[in-house]
Structure 1
Amino acid sequence: MSERLATLIKARERMTADRDAFAKTLAAPFDRDTAERARLKFIETQVLIDAIERAIASEQA
C-alpha cells in the first residue's frame, strides 16, 4: 500500500469518527443551537468523507 493511500484511509477513519460524534449529538435530547451546528457539521463531514473515498478509489485504480 502506498503512503498516499494509507494517509487517505487514515483521514477517512478520523472523519468517520468525527461524523459519529455529530450523529450522537443529533440523537441526543433536542437543543436547537447544538442540533443545528451538529447537523451542518455532519453534512460537511459526510461530503468530505465522500471526497476522500473517491480519492481512495482513484489511488486503487
Structure 2
Amino acid sequence: MAKYLLAESGINWLAIMALLTFFIIFSIVIIMVFWRGRGSYADVEQQPLIDSYPTEEKDELV
C-alpha cells in the first residue's frame, strides 16, 4: 500500500535524497572543523604573514 501512495504522490525522491546527502555531509564537515582545537590551526593562521619558510638544503647529485 505504501508503494502505491509513494508512486502517486508526485514527490521527487531523487531531489530529496540529494538534499539529505548534502545536508549530512555538510553537517559532518562542520562538526569536524569545530571539533579540532585552536592549536591545530596555529601554522595555518600565520601563513599570510610569513614571507618565506626555511628550506632544508638537500644534496643534489650533479
**What range describes the TM-score normalised by the shorter chain of this pair?**
0.3 to 0.5
TM-score computed with the length of structure 2 as normaliser: 0.41
Larger Rg: 2
- Return the TM-score normalized by structure 1: 0.42
